[in-house]
Each structure stands twice: as structure tokens, then as C-alpha cells.
Amino acid sequence: MSTLPPRAGRRCHNALNPVHSTVYFSPDLGKEMGALGIADADAAYFAARSAALGAVGAGTVSATFYNFNHELVARHLPAVWSVASPQAVLDARLRAADTTLRRLLGEETIASAGLAEAAQLALRATEGCTRHARPLYAAHADLPVPQEPHLAYWHAATLLREHRGDAHLAALLAAGLDPVEAMVSHTATGKGMAPRWILATRGWRRADWEAAAERLRVRGLLDAEGELTEAGVALRAGLEEATDEMDAAPYEHLGAEGVERLTELGRGYLFAAASAGAFPADLTGKG
């Protein structure tokens, strides 16, 4: 039985996860990867996020990333590893995280006691994570923890993000949602990535999107206007609840007081990062 308030772990995740994601929207990652000889933005993303797994091929990345078109992944993997090794990519990603966080949060915050406390709390939460059936989390859990607090915080946010992400993929499979159906239904909640961003970055075509929407309509999850039906709303809510259950361990380990404090600190850093332009203004939405 949980010792935490309802959805406390999810709220904490929602405060920390975007901090992990800042590096993938940052020009600093492009500069670091370009210096390695990886100039293509898609190749840079696939390499940076999968490098902890080693010099893997397209099959592994398509499986663990879930919502990318395999054809897009296969254009870049495993070829990218002939340009730069996974370790070189991991080093470049960490340098990009350092530069990005310093720019977004400012040196005063980087050196603050609050950020050091947030790093300690987030790392303590990761002690409750488990490796089994969580490939992206498990690979990142084998990486060393950076010494500097802001990078330790980013590292812990990465672990917690991939831990929940691996669980969420299991929930999507159980719900019978394929990669495009998962994105269409998430976007229909108003909280997912906007369709034009998905189509520009995930390798799918408009026809793939429309076909997935039609499959959801046939299942009674989406109406004629592209809005979630009552059954669709229930399905998406159930997905998050199932993910919460599979992702409860790190937050139960941290405890209610620690989760509340980490969420408070994390929301402050997220607000600062977002205010500094960490994310595109039109990233989410139904349009």
C-alpha cells in the first residue's frame, strides 16, 4: 500500500523530466555533436540518447524509443558509431548538459545549496529504481554519477525519466496502442506533442497519423472531430495510473516529505529553465 499522496510520484516526475529533456532542445548539444562529426540533428539525437546502451543498431533503438519510425532510425544507426564512439557521445552529451543548465539556470543557482539538495534527493530516489525489463534505465544506471551537483541532478532526472519511460512502454503495449496510436491519443489529451512536431521529428507521414486516428475511431477511443471519447479519456487515465504503479518504487523509497521537497525544488528549476527559453513555445497542443 502506498505511503504517498495520490499521483505524488507523477507530479515529481513531471517536475524533473523536462530538465532531462532540455539538452535535446539545446543548441549546445548540436555544437558538441557537430564537433564529433555528427551534424545531422536526427543522428545526434539517436546517438545521444542511446549511447548508454553501447554501439547498438536501429532495432534496439526502435524498440526502446517506441514512437520513432524504424526507417528513420535505420538511416542513422548503426552508421553513426563509425563517426563517434558511444563514450565520446556520452562525454559530449554531458558537456552539453553542463553548458545548457548553466545558461538556463544561471551560475548563482548552479552554485546554490538548493540545487545540491535537489541532487541529493533525486539520487536518493533513484536508489529505489529497478533494472529488470527497463533497458534504457538500466543502461543509464551503469553510468557514473557526475560530481558537480547540477550534473548529478541532471543525471538523476535522466534515470528517473527513463525508469518511468520504460514502464510507460509496457503500459502502452498492454493497452494495445502502437507507436502512432500512442502519440495521436496523447496529443488528443492536449498535453502531448503537437502533430507538426511529431511529424517533423519522428519519421512518420501525415497518412500514418490519419490512419492511426482512424484505428482509434474504430475502437471507439476517438470521435469524428479527433477528440477523445469517454472511453479514450478512460484509457489515457488508465495508462498513467498503470505507469504510476510500475514507477512507484523510487518515490516510495524517498518518502512523502522528500518527494514533496524534491517536487517543490524541481518545479522552481523547471520554471526558470522554461522562462529562459528551454523549450519551443509551440511544442505541445492539439494543433
- pLDDT tens, residue by residue, 133-166: 999 999 999 999 999 999 999 999 999 999 999 9
- pLDDT tens, residue by residue, 68-83: 999 999 999 999 999 9
Mean pLDDT, residues 278-282 = 93
**CA 105/CA 42 separation, integer angstroms:** 26
The reply to whether 117 falls in a domain is: yes
- End-to-end CA separation in angstroms for the chain: 40
The reply to whether 261 falls in a domain is: yes
The reply to whether 2 falls in a domain is: no
Average pLDDT, the chain: 97
Residue 3 confidence (pLDDT)? 84
Q: Are 157 and 104 in contact (CB under 8 A)?
A: no
- pLDDT tens, residue by residue, 103-136: 999 999 999 999 999 999 999 999 999 999 999 9
The reply to whether 281 falls in a domain is: no
Percent of the chain with pLDDT over 70: 100
Rg (CA), the chain: 19
The reply to whether 56 falls in a domain is: yes
Better-predicted residue by pLDDT, 164 or 3: 164
The reply to whether 148 falls in a domain is: yes
- pLDDT tens, residue by residue, 197-246: 999 999 999 999 999 999 999 999 999 999 999 999 999 999 999 999 99
pTM equals 0.97
**CA 29/CA 21 separation, integer angstroms:** 11
The DSSP 8-state label assigned to residue 25 in this structure reads G
Range of the domain at 268: 8-276
Type of residue found at 266: G
Q: Distances from the Cα of 108 to the Cαs of 101, 112, 114, 145, 215, in angstroms? A: 12, 6, 11, 22, 51
pLDDT band at 264 (very low <50, low <70, confident <90, very high): very high
- 232-271 exposure pattern, b = at least 16 Cβ within 10 A, e = fewer: beebbeebeebbbebbbbbbbebbeebbbbbbebbebbbe
Residue 136 confidence (pLDDT)? 98
Residue 1 confidence (pLDDT)? 65
The reply to whether 92 falls in a domain is: yes
Per-residue DSSP letters for 173-211? Answer: HHHT--HHHHHHHHHHTTSSB-HHHHHHHS---HHHHHH
pLDDT tops 80 at residue 287: no
The reply to whether 131 falls in a domain is: yes
Number of domains forming the structure of the chain: 1
| Cα angle, residue 276 at apex, residues 46 and 168 outer, rounded to 5° | 40
